[in-house]
A and B are shown apart, each in its own frame.
Chain A
Amino acid sequence: MRIHRGHIAQHKHDQLLREYLKQHLNELIQQKELIIDGKVKTQIATLDLPTLKYGEDAPVLARGTGRGGKGGAGGSGQTGDEEIQVLGGLLGGDHHGREIKVELDFDEFVRLAQEVLLQEIELPVFREPSRSGEVQTDALPDLDDLDRIGLRPDLNLEETMLQSLLRNIRERGTAEYDVELAQDGWYFVEDPAAYENHRSLEVYVLDISGSMRGEYLALVRKTIFVLWYYLERRYPTNLRRYVVFQDVAEEKTRDEFFCVESSGGTHISAGFERAMELLHGVTEHDKFLFVFTDGETSSGDFDLAKRRYEEALSRFDMVCYGHVNPGGRGVGGFSEYVQDGARRYPNATFANLTDIEAIRKTMGEFLEFFARERSGGRRWTRIAKSSTASKR
């Protein structure tokens, strides 16, 4: 039997990475531009051996790559937009002592952040046994509807490619057939209706008016990452759409959603309207709307926002409203109205997102829906009032 020393070394490396993330998660998650070119970029000194290096401006030995710009061999001069390859490491030999700049794939960052957050919030973690392919957890709720392993022979390749293309456009704004089987490979030549009914549409609506920064951003992103953890395990595919609003609302790609600039006033109604427009042509069975705002809607928008909220309740299976409130102030304005509504409407939830503890309570409540569904009750028959409502 071969000992996978590479895997063990990587495990040690990732443990250190996790440790770093744990200590710096708040800092990293608050970066205004969280995703650049599909990566979360951060310079983590502790992950490299602290050998001495030259400052960045020192001249280096390099080589043309033959790509971009003009030039190549011959003559001194400006490089313009020509690509060059720095030769330092390549001439050095093996990988010993090489600098590793840490650029995490966004998906990997999310996975590590989820791990840290679930541990910190003490929420149930699902474990995947190596052989059975089933998901287990010691804690409620018992969500075991996970079946994303393996490639079926009747995979509808055309549809899978198409879905991959659409997902990449939604996430990164690039038209690439970058197929991820877990996300895209859910389309079969004869698509059983049951599978279709188990997919989810998730619309994330974010208020980007002036106050959207720092701790506010951190709370929103943490909540979304934890939501993803459960939703990804509950549904075979998660069709995600992203909307930001201030005076007007617009759809964004995933990468843009995590790099938004804050500006303008707050017209919550615009956010609801744009979210509902995205329901057009959607066949997914479970439709979720997640709204994150500080609830301070502009004067004149209050009544329209109320109407749009109620309309959203009738069109989405669940409307989750996060009142982002890192200062822990009292709940007022439009949020107060929604808080009250959440007591009356079975498919409405309200979360007063003040801190990490509030995320825990919110998730508990969110997962309760699935628990009820599993225990044989009708979906969305929640009676108990929101446990996170106006606690602070």
Chain B
Amino acid sequence: MDSYREIIDRIEALARQRGLSFDPVYFRLTDSDEIAEVASMGLPNRFIHWHWGGAYKELVVQQNKELFSILELVLNTKPSHAFLRRANTYLQNVLVIAHVFGHVDFFRNNHWFAKSNKNMLNEAERHARQIRKYEGVHGREKVETLLDALLTVAGTVNAFERNPTERRKRLMYYLEDKAPLESWEHHMMQMLREESEYFDLIQRTHIINEGWATFVEAELLRDILDTPSWASLSVQLSNRPAPYTIGYALFQRVKRERGFDAALEVRTYYEDIRLIDEMLTDEMVRRLDIFVYDPKEKQKSYDLQQVKEMLITQKLHKGEPHIEVESGSSPKELVLGHLEEDRKLDSKRVGLFLKSVHSLWRNPVRLRANGKVYTYDRRGLSTA
């Protein structure tokens, strides 16, 4: 790390000069394997689950074939932890360091992140130990089956939602409140919910967070790099994955039209939906080549309104079908509804999903979707 100390200090000083602020950052030089491990699990010391194993394996294969590699990784904790890949070139790691200062500034200053759990590294460790203890008491298979079911419904959390009535419509919260679970199972559910909210927040601010980090990276390195390196960086920035380039384009527009201080304000008060809704333009949609694609008709549409709506829907429900707990639910029966009636669910998954929910609810579960009512009870799946 010694070879990077000077440049880290220089970039940090530049960032502070531009009005950025952050908690202490610990940089660590590590190998691709560890980065793939943390990226697949979300946190370095999280409980071990087979699902991360599949993602990890896929990442390692992609890295080995040089199809894709994760250049950097930073955790929303206090202090922040950032991983630099040893295999990166010096210049690549300089870009990463500047990018990381964008992220840690966002973690510290964005309004929505104010409520995030900065102690999640320790929490995750505590959870992992507790889950291992439960495995010892209740058996590994039982705990793993419960984890599978919990992870299946965990995506229904919403870290932004504070309204109790709206929260109760979300399956994870409803089950935590009402499902007839044993105390250890309930504890497992609480732990999983906490972790899921931590990741949910990251997902809901993915575009603004990556966009801001990329914007900061470009701004800071303009003062550090020579002209050819800066030109090459500019080309590289436009070739990054979608959240980076969309977010970057949005912040460039803010700075162009309202100045750098306005960009600082946007990073403080906005999240993805507001940023997209206010800042995405017809010109950007075309320049970034983003469209709504209809696989049936093989048609793509660059209509700004359609693209915006689709982006916002994806952000609202993380690209997953929007299901809610309906008011007809009772302790005897859980009733769920898929609210986007014009969109069909993959029917093969419905049975497996309801089976998971049933394993937590332990009473009949109904789902209104695809113009049918699916029921899962002791006898299995039936459709009406």
A328 lies within 8 A of chain B by Cβ: no
A193 lies within 8 A of chain B by Cβ: no
Beta-carbon nearest neighbor of B318 in chain A: A92
Which residues of A lie under 8 Å from residue B303 when comparing CB positions?
Answer: 76
State which of A26-34, A81-89, A121-129, A225-233 sits at the interface with chain B.
Answer: A81-89
Q: A52-B353, A92-B318, A95-B42 are in contact. Are A6 and B53 (CB under 8 A)?
A: yes
Docked CA distance A74–B303 (Å): 10
Q: A6-B52, A77-B299, A96-B199 are in contact. Are A86 and B349 (CB under 8 A)?
A: no
Q: A51-B320, A54-B343, A84-B293 are in contact. Are A95 and B298 (CB under 8 A)?
A: no
B9 lies within 8 A of chain A by Cβ: no
- CB pair B314–A84 under 8 Å, yes or no, is no
B286 lies within 8 A of chain A by Cβ: yes
Candidates A5, A47, A50; contact of B41 at CB < 8 Å: A5
- CB pair B155–A61 under 8 Å, yes or no, is no
Which residues of A lie under 8 Å from residue B41 when comparing CB positions?
Answer: 5-6, 9
Candidates B199, B286, B290, B311; contact of A93 at CB < 8 Å: B199
- CB pair B348–A45 under 8 Å, yes or no, is yes
**Measured between C-beta atoms, what is the minimum distance from B86 to chain A in Å?**
14
B7 lies within 8 A of chain A by Cβ: no
Docked CA distance A92–B42 (Å): 13
A139 lies within 8 A of chain B by Cβ: no
Docked CA distance A9–B41 (Å): 9
State which of B31-39, B110-118, B183-191, B250-258 sits at the interface with chain A.
Answer: B31-39
- CB pair B298–A73 under 8 Å, yes or no, is no
Docked CA distance A5–B34 (Å): 9
Q: A52-B345, A53-B321, A97-B155 are in contact. Are A47 and B54 (CB under 8 A)?
A: yes
A181 lies within 8 A of chain B by Cβ: no
B243 lies within 8 A of chain A by Cβ: yes
- CB pair B349–A50 under 8 Å, yes or no, is yes
Docked CA distance A14–B298 (Å): 37
Give the contacts of B338-365 with A (CB-CB under 8 A): 338, 343-350, 352-353, 355-356
Docked CA distance A348–B382 (Å): 58
- CB pair A54–B36 under 8 Å, yes or no, is no
B323 lies within 8 A of chain A by Cβ: yes
- CB pair B320–A97 under 8 Å, yes or no, is yes
Which residues of B lie under 8 Å from residue A64 when comparing CB positions?
Answer: 289, 291
**Measured between C-beta atoms, what is the minimum distance from B335 to chain A in Å?**
15
- CB pair B298–A62 under 8 Å, yes or no, is no
Give the contacts of B31-65 with A (CB-CB under 8 A): 33-34, 36-37, 39-42, 44-46, 48-60
A152 lies within 8 A of chain B by Cβ: no
Q: What is B's interface to A at a CB cutoff of 8 Å?
A: 33-34, 36-37, 39-42, 44-46, 48-60, 148, 151-152, 154-155, 196, 199, 202-204, 206-207, 241-243, 286-296, 298-303, 307, 310-311, 314-315, 318-321, 323, 338, 343-350, 352-353, 355-356
Rank and list the top 7 A-B pairs by shortest CB-CB distance, nearest first.
A13-B53, A6-B37, A50-B352, A9-B53, A93-B203, A12-B50, A64-B289
Not counting A4-B37, A94-B203, a sample of 19 additional A-B residue pairs whose C-beta atoms are within 8 angstroms of each other reads A5-B41, A5-B45, A9-B49, A9-B52, A10-B53, A51-B320, A51-B353, A52-B353, A55-B347, A58-B344, A60-B293, A62-B300, A64-B291, A76-B299, A76-B301, A79-B298, A92-B314, A92-B319, A94-B42
- Please name 8 pairs of A and B residues whose Cβ atoms are closer than 8 Å in the assembled complex, sorted by A: A4-B37, A6-B52, A50-B353, A53-B321, A53-B349, A62-B293, A87-B290, A91-B242
